[in-house]
Each structure stands twice: as structure tokens, then as C-alpha cells.
Amino acid sequence: MKAFVLDRYASRPALRLADVGMPPLREDEVLVEVYAAGVNQLDAKISHGEFKRILPYRLPLILGHDVAGVVVQVGARVRKFKLGDAVYARLDDLRIGSFAEFVAVKEASLALKPQGLTMEQAASIPLVGLTAWQALVEKAALAPGQQVFIQAGSGGVGSFAIQLAKHLGATVATTASAANADFVKSLGADIVIDYRAQHVEDLLHGYDVVLHSQNGKTLDASLRVLHSGGKLISISGPPDPDFGRAIAASGFVQWVMRMLSAGIRRRAQKRGVGYAFLFMTANGPQLREITALIESGAIRPVVDRVFPFDATNEALAYVDAGHAKGKVVIKRK
């Protein structure tokens, strides 16, 4: 089959279009013909080698975490899916590879594609949708009437998280550039802060939850937005000891994580704020909850650009540039 392969980590990687063997199918997996693949910052970061210690991939590697497609083969122990099912998924770490014609997907990570979505729209959802779900529902238990600050509302995670937080009944503040203010308002944001001209910590106070996705400078600003007892959930680091334990990292890596997060954990504790790092994971049952929200009309996919399969490198570079408005998708079929 054809696939885009990463041969070596690089600051500007060029994936190589190669003829490779079909992915080996395990008993608890289905083989999916890829119709569309979502492109994520995680693909770009892995290609730069940023996740070498956490995700020890062997190169050459087929990138791609999000897939929408059709089941063409079913493993011996698979019960919930059959040939011909239209499905979507965030692939499991160390089992990625949707920038290809076919990919093997764990049954436990898979869901039926939402009715009424195109394959491209469906492929835009899993990683960012599950990130928002695991941050706002699982970790924060966001409740009606609470106030949440979601950074970078115009990005892949932000555009989904705003809609989810509104569905959960929260008041939503977000950051965006002035050009994207109307866009994030159309997704439901109540308060929009121009991140290039204003400081969030001057404008937002007493918030319950922050979904942090930017750099160290904005992390401290995020901290000051919260009231004592509030929750700071970061998806862009630094990783904390709980995460190190959850992924059973080596003693050295756990020590590094403890050191990297010592400052923010200390400053958070001083303010009575809970700090947690989230590294989202594949999860079929949660994806089915998201499917229901999409089918009910509570959440809609936001696709910025669709690239043809041949232009996979261009799609990755576009995401890597960091200014996508919603999601970027590769269409194969």
C-alpha cells in the first residue's frame, strides 16, 4: 500500500511517499481503508522528534493519528464492527499511521462515523474532540454555570472545546486574534480576548477552569485567571509526576517531569489551584459520546482546509505553522 513515511526526525521533515507492506492485523483490531485523515500538531511534533522520550517510535514511521474510513477486515476477537462499517478513530499511541491507504485500529478505540458527516469532517474530530472531552468532562467535571477560559479558541482543540463547554452550560472566555473574533463567537464564545493586544490576567478573574494549550508565559497568566480551588489543565506541558506514573515512564523521565513541572505546581499550590497535565488517549466509548453530541447538533466539525493525499507534506507544514482555523484534513478517497 502507499503511505507517507517519516525517515528521520527534523525541524522541517519531508515525508516520503513509499510502497509499504499492509499493517499487520491483531485479533482485537479492524483494518480500515483510509478515506480521510486528520492532521494534528502531534504529528508535527513527533516529526520534529519532540516526543522521542514519551513515545519511542522506531523509524521509518507512518504518521497520522486521526482516521475516517471503511472497515475492510475484522480481527478474530472483534465483536462490535463488521465489514463495510463507516468508522472513525483516534489511533492508539505506538499504533498510529493514518497517512496511508490502510490502517489497523483497535476495536476499543473505534466508533461508527457520525451520521450526516462527510469522511473529511469525521476525520477532523477524534483527537481534538477527545482532548476537549478528557479535559473538560473527565478532569475538570465542568458544570452548568461555571466559567471556563479556553486558550486559542480558533485552533483545532479550541474550536471543539468552546462548543463542548457551551453544551455543558459554562460561560466561555477564549483568546483569538482580532481576525478570528467573530469566528470563535459563532462557536459560542461569550468573551473573546485578542491575544496579540490584551492580557487575559487583566480581564478575567475568579474562573473555575482553564484549558491551557500555549507556552510557559501564558501558563502563568492562566494561573492568575483562576480562583482558589480552580483547575488549571494544561495540554501543552509541562508534564507532571502523575502523567509520568500513568505512562510508566522510566525513573529518569519521571524525575525530569517532576523537575519540569516543579515551578508551576508550586505556584499553583500557593494560589490553591489544582494543576494537571493531560496527554489525551484514544477512547472508543468517549468517541461514541462525542458522536451523539454531533448527531444531536450540539457540536459541529470545523474544517479549515482539505488537502489531497498527494499533498500530505503540505498539510503537515500548514498545521505546523500554527495558524489553522479549526482542523486540517487529508482526503484520500
Ligand X SMILES: NC(=O)c1ccc[n+]([C@@H]2O[C@H](COP(=O)([O-])OP(=O)(O)OC[C@H]3O[C@@H](n4cnc5c(N)ncnc54)[C@H](OP(=O)(O)O)[C@@H]3O)[C@@H](O)[C@H]2O)c1
Query: Where does this chain touch ligand X (CB under 6 A) — which range of 25-33, 62-70, 74-82, 174-182?
Result: 174-182
How many CA atoms lie within 13 Å of 263's alpha carbon, on the beta-carbon side? Answer: 8
**Binding flag, residue 5, ligand X (CB under 6 A):** no
With CB under 6 A as the contact rule, the residue among 36, 70, 140, 278 that binds ligand X is 278
Nearer to ligand X, 68 or 221 (CB): 221
> Which residue number is nearest to ligand X in terms of Cβ?
155
**Cα 295 to Cα 161: distance, rounded to the nearest angstrom:** 17
Residues 61-80 within binding reach of ligand X (CB under 6 A): none
For residue 256 the three cell numbers come to 525530569
Query: Where does this chain touch ligand X (CB under 6 A) — which range of 79-87, 140-148, 275-283, 288-296?
Result: 275-283
- Which H or E run includes 240? none
Query: Where does this chain touch ligand X (CB under 6 A) — which range of 81-89, 104-112, 254-262, 276-284?
Result: 276-284
CB of 116 to ligand X, least distance (A): 24
Strand partners, 34: 69
**Binding flag, residue 325, ligand X (CB under 6 A):** yes
- Scanning 187-273, the segments in alpha helix (DSSP H) are 200-203, 216-225, 241-246, 251-270
Beta sheet of 274-277, edge-to-edge order: 191-194, 171-176, 147-150, 207-212, 226-234, 274-277
Strand partners, 148: 172, 209
**Cα 255 to Cα 173: distance, rounded to the nearest angstrom:** 35
Nearer to ligand X, 131 or 146 (CB): 131
| Binding-residue total with ligand X (CB under 6 A) | 30
Q: Where are the beta strands (DSSP E) in the chain?
A: 2-6, 16-19, 29-39, 61-62, 66-74, 86-90, 102-106, 110-112, 147-150, 171-176, 191-194, 207-212, 226-234, 274-277, 303-308, 327-331
C-alpha angle 147/152/155, rounded to 5°?
125
Query: Where does this chain touch ligand X (CB under 6 A) — which range of 16-24, 103-111, 262-270, 274-282?
Result: 274-282
CB of 332 to ligand X, least distance (A): 21
CB of 143 to ligand X, least distance (A): 22
Nearer to ligand X, 71 or 147 (CB): 147
| Full DSSP string of 138-184 | IIT---TT-EEEES-TTSHHHHHHHHHHHHTT-EEEEEE-GGGHHHH
CB of 16 to ligand X, least distance (A): 24
Nearer to ligand X, 4 or 160 (CB): 160
Residues 89-148 within binding reach of ligand X (CB under 6 A): 128, 131
Locus of grid cell 485479533: 27
**Cα 28 to Cα 211: distance, rounded to the nearest angstrom:** 34
**Binding flag, residue 175, ligand X (CB under 6 A):** yes
CB of 299 to ligand X, least distance (A): 15
With CB under 6 A as the contact rule, the residue among 36, 67, 136, 319 that binds ligand X is 319
**Binding flag, residue 261, ligand X (CB under 6 A):** no
Instruction: State phi, psi for 219 to the nearest 5 degrees.
Output: -65, -40
Find the largest Cα–Cα distance for the chain: 58
With CB under 6 A as the contact rule, the residue among 81, 149, 195, 309 that binds ligand X is 195
Query: Where does this chain touch ligand X (CB under 6 A) — which range of 53-61, 198-206, 305-313, 316-324?
Result: 316-324
Binding residues for ligand X, per CB under 6 A? 40-42, 45, 128, 131, 151-152, 154-158, 175-177, 180, 195, 213-214, 235-236, 278-280, 319, 322-325
